[in-house]
């Protein structure tokens, strides 16, 4: 993920680039940040405002960004895998330097806006120079430093957050495991509320950060940071927002069906006092700290007949003696089966696959490209369970994409859009989670017959369909925060209102006056835009449907696996090699023959389950 915050984008897929640290919190003079070294070289060069001048300027910009980005990425990696006062100090300074360079180049790029006869690639790169800044700093001394102080501190506060649970101090990874398995509503409530005690201290920083970055966005000609983020999709920002509404409306009836069924089963299990039959679902009962994927409570909601046709990924991994590295090697094996190159030796030497002892790290999974060429890595605190089996494939997808576009010019070394970057590994995961594939690699002893279809689809829907409204609501909250529609005093209420509006969920109890629940979700303090995941949850089904068609598959989509299909792999790689060189619609077309976002692939994949859910819900009053 390295470049996520920083440069254009992409990479980060996972997360974090800018993370941070905080020297301010550690008592250093804030003014010190303004003395961060400036970003080298030829800031004062005057490029003639001509097509050739633009081409020369862009070439120089790419060289400068590429050089500095490697330094910044290595600094970020060091901080993310070893959080100390000093690594935070270094990272914050490096990030400030990079942001200053980005802002300088974006302002310079704007001067070529009306030049006639620009080469198409040059014109695209001029746009990307502005659009690639996730959090722009205002163009005045000290602003980039102050902004990076805050972002580093926010990210590190999240990463090192702990809380008391049953007399013991626990981390988020420990809480995640407990949340997945606990069926005691008193305990899940304690975990839900306990983790959210780490974030109230972030609120003032967050509000200050919003003010600074908005000023930076306005300097670049955008109404606010949200408008900048919405502009990165090869269409007008407003049209993009409308497009996400359209997609959500396409899939919403299915989500409501799932919500209705799950609520009813939770009511049966826990009773009216814990989960009423109507209204929102209690957010802590869904097996996930943010209720974003619900697959961990499959056992609670499994079909009453035929439920034994389902299987528990975690149990399979444990039974077959998998450890974290074996999970990653298995993921790599899927990609190589498609004819893609295996991860290089340096990946295995330099990745952080499990949580190291004795030091603080950022555990939220991410994939990095340190040198814009071959030095790709993942950073995870992998645990042997079904969630991380998925995450391993997800992260490797980022690395595979990074390597595929490594020969593009610097500004095109990115996903076709950020949703594409998130969708690569998820697309592969749709095959890698099929019983057929799990059986082929010896994890699952017997492939269930048709009686296994509904259990399997329900398991998938609990993760993929439940995710959709969450994937939308995070940035809906941020868009309103950046636009000023939501003031700092309203931050938490607006978050809770979005949970209700989009997900139909409610916290397990009243939230305290100082709550800042958004800060307890990684991507808020980590400043990773989130609409990308919503898009990825549509794109991955478009990719899967197209890939299965290319493979000649005529059965139900959820049983299709492209494992071992080198032809599909070659076509997929051809799309990935394009990087961000062309509008994403062309990349989509290159692989799928489709030009836009299309949620019909989601409907196709889950069609049998939607029929089944409708049947189960007959006579119930759905909605909340
Ligand atoms: O953050 C991630 C990845 C890294 S890009 C682990 N994901 C989102 C999340 O965890 O909230 C993957 C799915 C959604
Ligand atoms: Zn990702």
Ranking 41-50, 153-162, 201-210, 465-474 by mean pLDDT, the lowest is 41-50
Ligand 1 atom at shortest distance from the alpha carbon of 292 = 11
Residues 128-149 have pLDDT tens digits of 999 999 999 999 999 999 999 9
The rounded mean pLDDT for the chain is 93
The residue nearest atom 7 of ligand 1, judged by CA position, is: 14
DSSP-derived pairing of the beta strands 168-171 and 281-282? unpaired
Average pLDDT over residues 514-539: 98
Indicate if ligand 1 lies below 6 Å from the C-beta of 476: no
Whether the pLDDT of residue 486 is over 50: the answer is yes
pTM: 0.94
- The catalytically annotated residue of 54, 259, 364, 547 is 364
Look up 586 and say whether it is catalytic: no
pLDDT of residue 193: 98
13 C-alpha to ligand 2 centroid (Å): 4
pLDDT of residue 46: 87
pLDDT grade, residue 2 (50/70/90)?
very low
Give the 3-state secondary structure of 402-471: HHHCCCCCHHHCCCCCHHHHHHHHHHHHHHHCCHHHHHHCCCCCCCCCHHHHHHHHHHHHHHHHHHHHHH
Residue 472 Cα to ligand 1 midpoint, Å, equals: 13
Half-sphere exposure of residue 555, counting CA atoms within 13 Å on the CB side? 8
Residue 149 and residue 92 in contact, taking contact as beta carbons nearer than 8 Å: yes
Which residue among 259, 393, 421, 523 is the active-site one? 523
- Residue 3, pLDDT > 80, answer no
Ligand 1 lined by 13 (C-beta under 6 Å): yes
pLDDT recorded at residue 308: 66
| Cα angle: 262, vertex 268, 274; to 5 degrees | 85
Percent of the chain with pLDDT over 90: 91
Residue 168 DSSP label: E
pLDDT of residue 309: 72
Whether 108 is a known active-site residue: answer no
**Catalytic hit among 394, 537, 544, 558:** 394
Active site residue 365: yes
Q: What's the pLDDT band for 22 if we cut at 50, 70, 90?
A: very low
pLDDT of the residue at 310: 78
What is the mean predicted confidence (pLDDT) over 440-452? 95
Give the contacts of 525 (CB within 8 A, at least 6 positions apart).
Answer: 154, 155, 157, 158, 199, 202, 206, 519
Contact 561, 444 (CB under 8 A): no
> For the chain, what percent of residues have pLDDT higher than 70?
92
Please work out whether the CB of residue 411 comes within 6 Å of at least one atom of ligand 1: no
391 Cβ closer than 6 Å to some ligand 1 atom: yes
Distance CA 306, CA 613 (A): 15
pLDDT for residue 8 = 32
DSSP string, 138-158: PSSTTHHHHHHHHHHHHHHHH
Strand partners, 282: 506
Ligand 2 ion: residues within 5 Å (CB):
13-14, 422
Residue pair 316/200 in contact (Cβ under 8 Å)? The answer is no
User: Quick one: average pLDDT of 433-453?
Assistant: 96
- Which ligand 1 atom sits nearest the alpha carbon of residue 467? 14
Pocket flag, ligand 1, residue 14 (CB < 6 Å): yes
pLDDT over threshold 50, residue 331: yes
- 427-440 per-position pLDDT tens digit: 999 999 999 999 99
Dihedral of CA atoms 204, 209, 214, 219 in degrees, nearest 10, equals 140
C-alpha dihedral sign at 521, 526, 527, 529: negative
Strands (E), 453-525: 505-506
d(CA 65, CA 105): 9
For the question of residue 558 being annotated catalytic, the response is no
Give the residue extent of every domain in the chain: 30-132, 313-447+530-593
The atom of ligand 1 lying closest to the CA of 391 is 6
User: With helix as H, strand as E and coil as C, how does 51-112 read?
Assistant: HHHHHHHHHHHHHHHHHHHHHHHHHHHHHHCCCCHHHHHHHHHHHHHHHHHHHHHHHHHHCC
Q: How far apart are CA 586 and CA 598, in angstroms?
A: 14
603 pLDDT above the threshold of 50: yes
Q: What is the pLDDT of residue 306?
A: 65
What's the pLDDT tens digit per position in 252-296? 999 999 999 999 999 999 999 999 999 999 999 999 999 999 999
Establish whether 395 is a catalytic residue: yes
In this model, does residue 26 exceed pLDDT 50?
no
Ligand 1 lined by 533 (C-beta under 6 Å): yes
CA of 574 relative to ligand 1 center, distance in Å: 25
**Per-residue confidence at 571, pLDDT binned at 50, 70, 90?**
very high
The owner of tokens 């089996």 is 389
Q: How far is the CA of 327 from the centre of ligand 2 (A)?
A: 17
pLDDT at 305: 82
For 295, 420, 447, the CA distances from 603, given in Å and listed in that order, are 19, 20, 24
Nearest CA to ligand 1 atom 3: 14
Q: What is the mean pLDDT of residues 16-22?
A: 28
CA of 364 to the centre of ligand 1 (A): 8
């Amino acid at each position: 993920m390295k470049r996520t915050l920083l440069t254009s984008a992409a990479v980060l897929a996972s997360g974090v680039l800018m993370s941070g640290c905080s020297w301010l919190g550690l008592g250093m003079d804030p003014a010190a940040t303004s003395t961060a070294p400036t970003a080298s070289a030829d800031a004062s060069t005057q490029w003639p405002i001509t097509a050739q001048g633009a081409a020369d300027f862009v070439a120089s910009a790419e060289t400068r960004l590429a050089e500095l980005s490697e330094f910044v990425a290595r600094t970020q990696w060091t901080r993310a895998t070893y959080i100390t006062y000093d690594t935070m100090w270094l990272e914050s300074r490096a990030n400030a330097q990079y942001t200053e360079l980005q802002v300088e180049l974006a302002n310079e790029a704007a001067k070529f806006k009306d030049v006639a006869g620009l080469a198409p690639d040059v014109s695209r790169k001029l746009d990307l120079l502005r659009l690639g800044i996730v959090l722009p700093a205002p163009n005045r001394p000290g602003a980039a430093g102050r902004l990076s102080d805050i972002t580093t501190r926010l990210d590190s506060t999240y990463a090192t957050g702990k809380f008391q649970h049953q007399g013991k101090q626990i981390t988020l990874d420990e809480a995640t495991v407990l949340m997945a398995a606990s069926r005691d509503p008193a305990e899940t409530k304690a975990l839900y509320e306990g983790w959210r005690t780490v974030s109230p201290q972030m609120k003032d920083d967050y509000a200050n950060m919003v003010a600074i970055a908005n000023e930076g966005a306005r300097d670049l000609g955008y109404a606010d940071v949200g408008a900048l983020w919405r502009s990165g999709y090869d269409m007008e920002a407003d049209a993009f927002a409308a497009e996400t509404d359209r997609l959500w409306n396409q899939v919403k009836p299915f989500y409501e069906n799932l919500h209705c069924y799950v609520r009813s089963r939770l009511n049966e299990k826990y009773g009216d006092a814990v989960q009423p039959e109507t209204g929102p679902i209690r957010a802590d009962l869904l097996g996930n700290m943010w209720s974003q994927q619900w697959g961990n409570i499959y056992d609670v909601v499994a079909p009453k007949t035929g439920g034994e046709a389902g299987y528990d990924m975690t149990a399979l991994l444990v039974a077959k003696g998998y450890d974290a590295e074996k999970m990653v090697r298995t993921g790599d094996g899927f990609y190589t089966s498609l004819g893609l190159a295996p991860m290089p030796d340096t990946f295995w030497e330099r990745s952080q696959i499990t949580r190291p002892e004795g030091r603080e790290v950022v555990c939220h999974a991410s994939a990095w490209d340190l040198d814009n060429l071959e030095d790709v890595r993942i950073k995870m605190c992998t645990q042997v369970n079904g969630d991380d089996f998925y995450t391993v494939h997800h992260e490797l997808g980022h690395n595979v994409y990074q390597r595929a576009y490594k020969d593009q010019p610097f500004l095109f070394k990115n996903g076709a859009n950020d949703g594409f970057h998130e969708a690569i590994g998820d697309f592969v995961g749709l095959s890698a989670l099929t019983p057929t594939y799990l059986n082929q690699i010896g994890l699952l002893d017997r492939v269930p017959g048709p009686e296994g279809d509904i259990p399997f689809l329900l398991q998938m829907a609990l993760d993929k369909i439940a995710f959709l409204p969450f994937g939308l609501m995070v940035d809906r909250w941020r868009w309103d925060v950046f636009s000023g529609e939501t003031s700092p005093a309203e931050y938490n209420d607006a978050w809770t209102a979005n949970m209700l509006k989009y997900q139909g969920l409610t916290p397990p109890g009243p939230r305290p006056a100082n709550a800042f629940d958004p800060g307890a979700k990684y991507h808020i303090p980590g400043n990773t835009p989130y609409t990308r995941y919503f898009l990825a949850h549509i794109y991955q089904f478009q990719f899967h449907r197209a890939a299965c068609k290319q493979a000649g598959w005529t059965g139900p989509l959820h049983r299709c696996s492209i494992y071992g299909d080198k032809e599909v792999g070659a076509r997929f790689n051809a799309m990935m090699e394009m990087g961000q060189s062309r509008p994403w619609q062309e990349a989509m077309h290159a692989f799928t023959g489709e030009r836009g976002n299309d949620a019909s692939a989601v409907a196709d994949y889950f069609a049998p389950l939607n029929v089944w859910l409708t049947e189960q819900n007959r006579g119930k009053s759905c909605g909340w």
